[in-house]
């Protein structure tokens, strides 16, 4: 989302409106009930990349999963790794610099795939829907998604697909907003369209249940502070300064602004 209130163009119909949302209220209401068509979502996310490049992971390492990246240091460098929703491939590029060699990145938008192709010498680039992954069973040892699962419209199908393509004992590393703090923020900022771009948010308990139902155990990592992207969404400089120093790791996971989870594929 773009937190500065301004006059802008609806990313779905092109109508001019004033607010902080990505789409106008009529378009938001049109897709409030039922599943949003895939072609609408592809068009929406491509338009986000075009209209708001500074708020996407296509053109920069927008909102990295710090705890997960630190945790990855314990993984064998020969691991077969897939990132779903890789954007411009910056996380994979960092993994390549750390010595991981068997890397694959996937996304659904034309903009992300074009940007990723510039790094195709580091990792393979695959056009793929997160709910229907075009890989053989057991193809990967590690799957990563950073701020992705909240965007999918059928999260259980997505998790089942990840479970299928992981080897026995494989790992699914997930970063995603924590539903309750996120929903409070969206309401406070009048982001009435969040059901379009975040249709599948979870609390820690809800995510644990979804993972258990699809064949995973879950370990929640400690989140030490807000990311730079999260700090940007705080509207005033004094509030940002306070938030930057706040010891988030002292809070229970249920109050963390986002979740970083290591899910292990069960036998």
Closest CA to 84 of 207, 172, 182, 179: 172
H-assigned helices in the chain: 25-30, 38-51, 66-71, 90-97, 110-117, 155-165, 179-188, 194-197, 204-213, 228-232, 237-245
Q: What is the pLDDT of residue 142?
A: 99
Mean pLDDT of the chain: 93
Residue 35 banded pLDDT, cuts 50, 70, 90 = confident
Residue 1 banded pLDDT, cuts 50, 70, 90 = low
In the predicted model, is pLDDT for residue 5 greater than 60? yes
Q: What is the pLDDT of residue 250?
A: 84
Q: What is the pLDDT of residue 230?
A: 77
- What would the mean pLDDT of 26-55 be, rounded to a whole number? 92
Q: What is the pLDDT of residue 3?
A: 64
pLDDT in tens, 141-162: 999 999 999 999 999 999 999 9
Angle, CA 142 vertex, CA 56 and CA 259 arms, to 5°: 50
What SS3 state is found at 7? Answer: strand
Please report the domains of the chain, with CATH numbers, ordered by start residue: 53-265 (3.40.50.150)
CA–CA separation, 2 and 175 (whole Å): 20
In the predicted model, is pLDDT for residue 207 greater than 90? yes
From residue 206, alpha-carbon distances to 127, 162, 228, 262 in Å are 29, 18, 26, 15
Residue 233 banded pLDDT, cuts 50, 70, 90 = confident
In the predicted model, is pLDDT for residue 138 greater than 80? yes
- What would the mean pLDDT of 37-63 be, rounded to a whole number? 90
Q: What is the pLDDT of residue 67?
A: 95
Q: What is the pLDDT of residue 2?
A: 59
Q: Which residues, in sequence order, are bridge partners of residue 218?
A: 263
What SS3 state is found at 154? Answer: coil
CA–CA separation, 31 and 35 (whole Å): 8
* Higher-scoring residue by pLDDT: 231, 250: 250
- What would the mean pLDDT of 111-131 be, rounded to a whole number? 96
Tokens representing 67 are 């705890």
* Higher-scoring residue by pLDDT: 237, 136: 136
In the predicted model, is pLDDT for residue 15 greater than 70? yes
CA–CA separation, 35 and 248 (whole Å): 34
C-beta pairs of 68-75 under 8 Å, 24+ apart in sequence: 68/144, 68/146, 68/173, 68/175, 68/221, 68/260, 68/262, 69/94, 71/173, 71/221, 71/262, 72/98, 72/142, 72/173, 73/98, 75/100, 75/141, 75/142, 75/171
Angle, CA 85 vertex, CA 79 and CA 90 arms, to 5°: 70
Q: What is the pLDDT of residue 236?
A: 76
In the predicted model, is pLDDT for residue 9 greater than 60? yes
pLDDT in tens, 52-103: 998 888 998 878 899 999 999 999 999 999 999 999 999 999 999 999 999 9
CA–CA separation, 221 and 198 (whole Å): 22
Q: What is the pLDDT of residue 147?
A: 96
User: Which residues have C-beta within 8 Å of that of residue 211, sequence separation ≥ 6?
Assistant: 159, 217, 218, 261, 263
């Amino acid at each position: 989302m773009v937190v500065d209130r301004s006059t802008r163009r609806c990313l779905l119909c092109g109508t001019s409106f004033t607010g902080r949302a990505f789409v106008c209220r009529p378009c938001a209401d049109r897709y409030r009930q039922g599943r949003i068509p895939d072609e609408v979502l592809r068009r929406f996310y491509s338009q986000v990349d075009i209209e708001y490049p500074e708020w996407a992971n296509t053109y920069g390492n927008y909102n990295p999963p710090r705890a997960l990246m630190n945790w990855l240091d314990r993984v064998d460098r020969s691991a077969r790794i897939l990132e779903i929703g890789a954007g411009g491939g910056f996380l994979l590029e960092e993994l390549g610099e750390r010595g991981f060699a068997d890397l694959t990145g996937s996304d659904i938008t034309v903009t992300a795939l074009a940007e990723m192709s510039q790094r195709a010498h580091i990792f393979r680039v695959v056009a793929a829907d997160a709910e229907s992954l075009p890989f053989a069973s057991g193809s990967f040892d590690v799957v990563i998604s950073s701020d992705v699962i909240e965007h999918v419209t059928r999260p259980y199908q997505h998790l089942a697909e990840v479970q299928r393509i992981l080897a026995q004992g494989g790992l699914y590393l997930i970063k995603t907003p924590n539903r309750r703090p996120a929903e409070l923020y969206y309401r406070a900022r009048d982001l009435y369209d969040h059901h379009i771009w975040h249709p599948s948010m979870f609390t820690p308990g809800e995510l644990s249940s979804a993972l258990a139902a699809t064949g995973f155990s879950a370990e929640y990592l400690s989140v030490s502070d807000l990311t730079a992207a999260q700090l940007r969404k705080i509207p005033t400089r004094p509030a940002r300064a306070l938030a930057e120093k706040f010891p988030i790791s002292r809070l229970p996971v249920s109050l963390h602004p986002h979740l970083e989870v290591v899910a292990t594929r069960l036998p």
